[in-house]
Amino acid sequence: MKIYRIVLLLIFFLQGACANQTYTDSLFVANWNVENLFDTVDDPQKSDEEFLPESPRHWTEERLEIKLKNLAKVIKYMNDFDGPDILGMEEVEHKYLLQKLIDKYFKDNGYRVIEYESPDKRGIDCALIYNSKKLKLIKSEPLGIDLPGDKTTRDILHAEFKLNGIIDLHVFVNHWPSRREGLKKTEPKRIAAAKVLRSAVDKILSANKEARILITGDFNDLPANISIKNILDAKPADCGSAQNFEPAELYNLSYKLFQQGKGTYKYKTHWNMLDQIIANGNMIKSKNIEYVCDSFQIIKPDYIITKTSKHKGKPKPTYGGRRYLGGFSDHFPVSAEFIIK
Protein backbone atom coordinates (compact mmCIF):
# COMPACT_ATOMS: atom_id res chain seq x y z
CA MET A 1 0.00 0.00 0.00
CA LYS A 2 2.87 2.36 0.83
CA ILE A 3 4.45 1.86 -2.62
CA TYR A 4 1.03 2.33 -4.26
CA ARG A 5 0.56 5.71 -2.59
CA ILE A 6 4.09 6.86 -3.46
CA VAL A 7 3.49 6.01 -7.12
CA LEU A 8 0.17 7.86 -7.12
CA LEU A 9 1.68 10.95 -5.54
CA LEU A 10 4.58 10.85 -8.02
CA ILE A 11 2.15 10.70 -10.94
CA PHE A 12 0.22 13.68 -9.57
CA PHE A 13 3.46 15.60 -9.00
CA LEU A 14 4.68 15.01 -12.55
CA GLN A 15 1.31 15.97 -13.99
CA GLY A 16 1.31 19.11 -11.88
CA ALA A 17 4.83 20.02 -12.92
CA CYS A 18 3.75 19.84 -16.54
CA ALA A 19 0.86 22.17 -15.76
CA ASN A 20 2.99 24.55 -13.69
CA GLN A 21 1.20 23.46 -10.51
CA THR A 22 2.72 22.14 -7.29
CA TYR A 23 1.29 19.16 -5.39
CA THR A 24 2.33 19.75 -1.80
CA ASP A 25 0.17 17.63 0.46
CA SER A 26 -2.58 15.06 0.77
CA LEU A 27 -5.78 14.76 2.76
CA PHE A 28 -6.69 11.32 4.08
CA VAL A 29 -10.37 10.97 4.99
CA ALA A 30 -11.85 8.00 6.85
CA ASN A 31 -15.04 6.91 8.53
CA TRP A 32 -15.70 4.20 11.10
CA ASN A 33 -18.72 3.01 13.03
CA VAL A 34 -16.83 1.93 16.15
CA GLU A 35 -19.76 -0.09 17.61
CA ASN A 36 -20.97 0.80 21.08
CA LEU A 37 -18.17 2.96 22.46
CA PHE A 38 -19.73 3.43 25.90
CA ASP A 39 -18.19 4.49 29.19
CA THR A 40 -18.92 2.44 32.32
CA VAL A 41 -21.03 5.05 34.13
CA ASP A 42 -24.82 4.99 34.17
CA ASP A 43 -26.35 8.00 32.42
CA PRO A 44 -29.93 8.37 33.73
CA GLN A 45 -30.88 10.30 30.60
CA LYS A 46 -29.87 7.47 28.27
CA SER A 47 -30.61 3.77 27.79
CA ASP A 48 -27.05 2.62 28.47
CA GLU A 49 -27.82 -0.06 31.08
CA GLU A 50 -26.52 -2.75 28.73
CA PHE A 51 -22.98 -1.35 29.00
CA LEU A 52 -22.30 -1.16 32.73
CA PRO A 53 -20.06 -3.29 34.99
CA GLU A 54 -23.05 -4.99 36.63
CA SER A 55 -24.88 -5.67 33.34
CA PRO A 56 -24.93 -9.13 31.69
CA ARG A 57 -22.21 -7.87 29.35
CA HIS A 58 -19.96 -6.92 32.31
CA TRP A 59 -18.73 -3.77 30.57
CA THR A 60 -15.82 -2.83 32.83
CA GLU A 61 -13.05 -0.23 32.78
CA GLU A 62 -10.64 -2.97 31.76
CA ARG A 63 -12.77 -3.89 28.74
CA LEU A 64 -13.16 -0.21 27.84
CA GLU A 65 -9.37 0.21 27.87
CA ILE A 66 -9.00 -2.80 25.57
CA LYS A 67 -11.59 -1.28 23.23
CA LEU A 68 -9.72 2.05 23.10
CA LYS A 69 -6.41 0.27 22.50
CA ASN A 70 -7.95 -1.73 19.65
CA LEU A 71 -9.46 1.38 18.05
CA ALA A 72 -6.12 3.18 18.31
CA LYS A 73 -4.34 0.29 16.59
CA VAL A 74 -6.60 0.51 13.53
CA ILE A 75 -6.58 4.32 13.41
CA LYS A 76 -2.76 4.31 13.51
CA TYR A 77 -2.77 1.77 10.66
CA MET A 78 -4.67 4.19 8.42
CA ASN A 79 -2.83 6.41 5.93
CA ASP A 80 0.24 4.16 5.94
CA PHE A 81 0.57 4.46 9.71
CA ASP A 82 0.37 8.26 9.69
CA GLY A 83 -3.27 8.28 10.84
CA PRO A 84 -6.18 10.00 9.07
CA ASP A 85 -6.57 13.77 8.70
CA ILE A 86 -10.34 13.51 9.04
CA LEU A 87 -12.09 10.63 10.80
CA GLY A 88 -15.87 10.49 11.06
CA MET A 89 -17.04 8.17 13.84
CA GLU A 90 -20.38 6.70 14.85
CA GLU A 91 -21.71 5.12 18.07
CA VAL A 92 -19.73 7.26 20.53
CA GLU A 93 -21.41 7.89 23.88
CA HIS A 94 -19.39 10.90 25.04
CA LYS A 95 -16.71 13.22 23.70
CA TYR A 96 -14.38 12.57 26.62
CA LEU A 97 -13.93 8.95 25.47
CA LEU A 98 -12.34 10.14 22.22
CA GLN A 99 -10.32 12.76 24.07
CA LYS A 100 -9.00 9.96 26.27
CA LEU A 101 -8.13 7.98 23.14
CA ILE A 102 -6.18 10.92 21.70
CA ASP A 103 -4.41 11.83 24.94
CA LYS A 104 -3.18 8.27 25.40
CA TYR A 105 -2.34 7.20 21.85
CA PHE A 106 -2.08 10.28 19.59
CA LYS A 107 -0.38 13.02 21.60
CA ASP A 108 1.69 14.33 18.67
CA ASN A 109 -0.88 14.14 15.87
CA GLY A 110 -2.53 17.49 16.54
CA TYR A 111 -5.93 15.81 16.75
CA ARG A 112 -9.04 17.61 17.99
CA VAL A 113 -12.50 16.18 18.69
CA ILE A 114 -15.99 17.44 17.82
CA GLU A 115 -19.05 15.74 19.31
CA TYR A 116 -22.53 16.85 20.35
CA GLU A 117 -24.94 15.02 22.63
CA SER A 118 -27.94 14.13 20.47
CA PRO A 119 -31.51 13.06 21.40
CA ASP A 120 -30.77 9.44 20.48
CA LYS A 121 -32.21 7.32 23.29
CA ARG A 122 -29.18 5.04 23.49
CA GLY A 123 -26.82 7.99 23.62
CA ILE A 124 -24.57 6.90 20.76
CA ASP A 125 -23.67 9.92 18.67
CA CYS A 126 -21.65 11.05 15.67
CA ALA A 127 -18.20 12.48 16.27
CA LEU A 128 -15.32 13.88 14.25
CA ILE A 129 -11.57 13.73 14.84
CA TYR A 130 -9.52 16.13 12.71
CA ASN A 131 -5.89 17.09 12.22
CA SER A 132 -5.60 20.67 13.51
CA LYS A 133 -2.21 21.03 11.80
CA LYS A 134 -3.99 21.05 8.43
CA LEU A 135 -7.53 22.06 9.29
CA LYS A 136 -8.69 25.18 11.09
CA LEU A 137 -12.17 24.80 12.56
CA ILE A 138 -14.45 27.71 11.65
CA LYS A 139 -17.64 26.40 13.23
CA SER A 140 -19.53 23.21 14.00
CA GLU A 141 -23.13 22.31 14.74
CA PRO A 142 -25.55 19.41 15.14
CA LEU A 143 -28.37 19.13 12.61
CA GLY A 144 -31.50 17.63 14.13
CA ILE A 145 -33.78 15.20 12.28
CA ASP A 146 -37.52 15.28 12.97
CA LEU A 147 -39.08 11.83 12.81
CA PRO A 148 -42.80 10.97 12.92
CA GLY A 149 -44.30 10.32 16.34
CA ASP A 150 -42.13 10.27 19.44
CA LYS A 151 -39.07 8.78 17.73
CA THR A 152 -35.56 10.20 18.08
CA THR A 153 -32.33 9.59 16.21
CA ARG A 154 -28.77 10.82 15.99
CA ASP A 155 -28.09 14.36 14.83
CA ILE A 156 -25.98 14.92 11.72
CA LEU A 157 -22.67 16.55 12.66
CA HIS A 158 -21.60 19.48 10.45
CA ALA A 159 -18.19 21.13 10.68
CA GLU A 160 -16.74 23.93 8.54
CA PHE A 161 -12.97 24.21 8.08
CA LYS A 162 -10.26 26.10 6.31
CA LEU A 163 -7.96 23.50 4.79
CA ASN A 164 -4.33 24.67 4.60
CA GLY A 165 -5.67 28.16 5.22
CA ILE A 166 -7.30 28.59 1.78
CA ILE A 167 -9.86 25.89 0.99
CA ASP A 168 -13.41 26.13 2.34
CA LEU A 169 -14.30 22.61 3.42
CA HIS A 170 -17.57 21.37 4.92
CA VAL A 171 -17.70 17.92 6.52
CA PHE A 172 -20.86 16.03 7.51
CA VAL A 173 -20.85 12.91 9.69
CA ASN A 174 -24.00 10.78 9.59
CA HIS A 175 -25.53 7.80 11.36
CA TRP A 176 -28.98 7.38 9.91
CA PRO A 177 -31.77 5.34 11.56
CA SER A 178 -31.26 1.59 11.52
CA ARG A 179 -33.13 -1.13 9.64
CA ARG A 180 -33.83 -3.11 12.79
CA GLU A 181 -37.63 -2.97 12.41
CA GLY A 182 -37.48 -3.86 8.71
CA LEU A 183 -36.25 -2.14 5.55
CA LYS A 184 -39.56 -0.74 4.28
CA LYS A 185 -40.90 0.24 7.70
CA THR A 186 -37.77 2.22 8.57
CA GLU A 187 -37.01 3.68 5.13
CA PRO A 188 -39.03 6.90 5.74
CA LYS A 189 -36.71 7.67 8.66
CA ARG A 190 -33.62 7.56 6.47
CA ILE A 191 -35.39 9.58 3.81
CA ALA A 192 -36.05 12.22 6.50
CA ALA A 193 -32.33 12.25 7.33
CA ALA A 194 -31.42 12.55 3.65
CA LYS A 195 -33.71 15.57 3.27
CA VAL A 196 -32.04 17.36 6.20
CA LEU A 197 -28.59 16.69 4.74
CA ARG A 198 -29.60 17.70 1.21
CA SER A 199 -31.06 20.97 2.51
CA ALA A 200 -27.85 21.76 4.40
CA VAL A 201 -25.71 21.06 1.33
CA ASP A 202 -27.92 23.25 -0.88
CA LYS A 203 -27.71 26.09 1.62
CA ILE A 204 -23.91 25.96 1.65
CA LEU A 205 -23.57 25.87 -2.13
CA SER A 206 -26.05 28.70 -2.65
CA ALA A 207 -23.87 30.87 -0.40
CA ASN A 208 -20.52 29.70 -1.78
CA LYS A 209 -20.23 27.93 -5.13
CA GLU A 210 -16.55 27.19 -4.43
CA ALA A 211 -17.26 25.21 -1.24
CA ARG A 212 -15.87 21.69 -0.99
CA ILE A 213 -18.17 19.16 0.65
CA LEU A 214 -17.35 15.80 2.22
CA ILE A 215 -20.07 13.52 3.55
CA THR A 216 -19.17 10.45 5.61
CA GLY A 217 -21.06 8.03 7.79
CA ASP A 218 -22.97 4.86 8.41
CA PHE A 219 -26.10 5.51 6.38
CA ASN A 220 -27.85 2.20 7.09
CA ASP A 221 -28.75 2.32 3.40
CA LEU A 222 -26.91 1.28 0.26
CA PRO A 223 -25.66 3.67 -2.45
CA ALA A 224 -28.55 2.63 -4.72
CA ASN A 225 -31.31 3.09 -2.12
CA ILE A 226 -33.86 5.91 -2.42
CA SER A 227 -32.45 7.98 0.46
CA ILE A 228 -28.96 8.27 -1.06
CA LYS A 229 -29.48 7.93 -4.80
CA ASN A 230 -32.71 9.93 -5.15
CA ILE A 231 -33.21 12.21 -2.14
CA LEU A 232 -29.57 13.09 -1.45
CA ASP A 233 -28.95 12.71 -5.20
CA ALA A 234 -25.46 11.23 -4.82
CA LYS A 235 -24.42 9.94 -8.23
CA PRO A 236 -21.98 7.09 -8.93
CA ALA A 237 -18.40 8.34 -9.17
CA ASP A 238 -16.27 6.90 -11.95
CA CYS A 239 -13.16 9.04 -12.17
CA GLY A 240 -11.47 6.47 -14.39
CA SER A 241 -13.87 7.26 -17.22
CA ALA A 242 -14.61 10.47 -19.09
CA GLN A 243 -17.19 11.42 -16.46
CA ASN A 244 -17.72 15.15 -16.14
CA PHE A 245 -17.90 16.14 -12.47
CA GLU A 246 -20.20 19.11 -12.00
CA PRO A 247 -18.94 21.37 -9.16
CA ALA A 248 -22.17 21.42 -7.13
CA GLU A 249 -23.28 17.81 -7.69
CA LEU A 250 -22.67 15.03 -5.16
CA TYR A 251 -20.80 11.85 -6.10
CA ASN A 252 -20.59 8.60 -4.14
CA LEU A 253 -16.98 7.41 -4.00
CA SER A 254 -18.04 4.00 -2.65
CA TYR A 255 -20.23 3.12 -5.64
CA LYS A 256 -17.65 1.16 -7.60
CA LEU A 257 -16.87 -1.27 -4.76
CA PHE A 258 -20.59 -1.49 -3.99
CA GLN A 259 -21.24 -2.61 -7.58
CA GLN A 260 -18.56 -5.26 -7.13
CA GLY A 261 -20.56 -6.73 -4.25
CA LYS A 262 -18.21 -5.56 -1.52
CA GLY A 263 -19.31 -4.05 1.77
CA THR A 264 -18.43 -2.90 5.26
CA TYR A 265 -21.08 -4.77 7.26
CA LYS A 266 -22.24 -8.34 6.75
CA TYR A 267 -25.84 -9.23 7.55
CA LYS A 268 -26.34 -12.99 7.47
CA THR A 269 -24.72 -13.92 4.14
CA HIS A 270 -24.85 -10.51 2.46
CA TRP A 271 -22.27 -7.75 2.47
CA ASN A 272 -23.75 -4.24 2.74
CA MET A 273 -21.97 -1.02 1.82
CA LEU A 274 -23.49 0.97 4.68
CA ASP A 275 -20.39 3.07 5.35
CA GLN A 276 -19.69 5.52 2.57
CA ILE A 277 -17.84 8.69 1.57
CA ILE A 278 -19.55 11.19 -0.72
CA ALA A 279 -18.03 14.36 -2.18
CA ASN A 280 -19.16 17.19 -4.41
CA GLY A 281 -17.58 17.90 -7.78
CA ASN A 282 -15.52 20.75 -6.34
CA MET A 283 -13.91 18.26 -3.96
CA ILE A 284 -13.26 15.64 -6.63
CA LYS A 285 -11.59 17.90 -9.17
CA SER A 286 -10.81 21.61 -8.90
CA LYS A 287 -7.84 23.97 -8.93
CA ASN A 288 -6.85 23.42 -5.28
CA ILE A 289 -7.77 19.82 -4.56
CA GLU A 290 -8.38 16.56 -6.38
CA TYR A 291 -9.60 13.08 -5.47
CA VAL A 292 -7.05 10.32 -5.99
CA CYS A 293 -8.94 8.17 -8.48
CA ASP A 294 -10.29 4.91 -7.00
CA SER A 295 -8.54 5.52 -3.68
CA PHE A 296 -11.77 4.74 -1.82
CA GLN A 297 -11.12 1.55 0.07
CA ILE A 298 -12.47 -0.68 2.81
CA ILE A 299 -9.84 -0.82 5.53
CA LYS A 300 -9.39 -4.32 6.89
CA PRO A 301 -6.00 -5.26 8.28
CA ASP A 302 -5.74 -8.98 8.92
CA TYR A 303 -6.05 -8.70 12.71
CA ILE A 304 -9.57 -7.22 12.65
CA ILE A 305 -11.00 -10.03 10.50
CA THR A 306 -12.77 -13.01 12.09
CA LYS A 307 -10.85 -16.15 11.10
CA THR A 308 -13.13 -18.99 12.20
CA SER A 309 -16.75 -20.05 12.63
CA LYS A 310 -19.73 -19.10 10.49
CA HIS A 311 -18.66 -15.44 10.88
CA LYS A 312 -15.37 -15.98 9.04
CA GLY A 313 -14.45 -12.88 7.02
CA LYS A 314 -16.53 -10.47 9.08
CA PRO A 315 -14.98 -7.71 11.16
CA LYS A 316 -14.25 -8.95 14.68
CA PRO A 317 -16.69 -7.22 17.09
CA THR A 318 -16.40 -6.47 20.79
CA TYR A 319 -19.18 -8.92 21.58
CA GLY A 320 -20.78 -11.88 19.85
CA GLY A 321 -24.27 -11.58 21.29
CA ARG A 322 -23.43 -11.20 24.98
CA ARG A 323 -20.21 -13.17 24.73
CA TYR A 324 -17.17 -10.96 25.11
CA LEU A 325 -14.73 -11.31 22.19
CA GLY A 326 -12.45 -8.34 22.83
CA GLY A 327 -12.59 -7.25 19.20
CA PHE A 328 -12.85 -3.96 17.35
CA SER A 329 -16.22 -3.26 15.71
CA ASP A 330 -18.87 -4.99 13.63
CA HIS A 331 -18.10 -2.55 10.78
CA PHE A 332 -14.98 -2.15 8.67
CA PRO A 333 -13.77 1.46 8.31
CA VAL A 334 -13.54 3.15 4.90
CA SER A 335 -11.23 5.82 3.50
CA ALA A 336 -10.45 8.04 0.53
CA GLU A 337 -7.50 10.23 -0.37
CA PHE A 338 -7.24 13.68 -1.91
CA ILE A 339 -4.29 15.65 -3.26
CA ILE A 340 -3.93 19.29 -2.19
CA LYS A 341 -2.37 21.36 -4.95
- DSSP state for residue 227 in the 8-state scheme: I
- DSSP state for residue 302 in the 8-state scheme: G
Task: Please name the residues in contact with 104: beta carbons below 8 A apart, sequence gap of 6 or more.
Answer: 68, 72
* CB 177, CB 147: distance < 8 Å: yes
217: left (phi over 0), alpha (psi -120 to 50) or beta: left
In the three-class reduction of DSSP (H, G, I as helix; E, B as strand; rest coil), residue 283 is classed as helix
* CB 267, CB 295: distance < 8 Å: no
What is the DSSP secondary-structure string of 7-41?
Answer: HHHHHHHHHHHHTT----EEEEEEEEEEEEE--SS
To 10 degrees, the CA torsion angle through 320, 323, 324, 325?
-40
**Count of other CB atoms within 10 angstroms of residue 209:** 10
pLDDT at 49: 95
d(CA 176, CA 218): 7
- Residue-wise over 220-242: b if at least 16 C-beta within 10 A, else e? bbbbebebbbebbebbbbebeee
d(CA 48, CA 94): 12
Please report the sign of the dihedral spanned by the C-alpha atoms of residue 322, residue 156, residue 229, residue 185. Answer: positive
- DSSP state for residue 147 in the 8-state scheme: -
The whole model's pTM is what?
0.93
pLDDT by 10-residue block (mean), the chain, 341 residues: 53 47 82 98 93 97 98 98 98 98 96 96 96 98 90 96 94 96 93 98 97 98 98 93 88 97 94 98 94 97 93 96 95 98 86
Q: How far is CA 306 from CA 51, 260, 330, in A?
A: 23, 22, 10
Residue 209 identity: K
Domains belonging to the chain, first-starting first, are: 2-340 (3.60.10.10)
d(CA 266, CA 47): 26
Strands of the sheet with 135-143, listed across from one edge: 135-143, 156-163, 167-175, 212-218, 275-280, 250-252, 234-236
* CB 84, CB 30: distance < 8 Å: yes
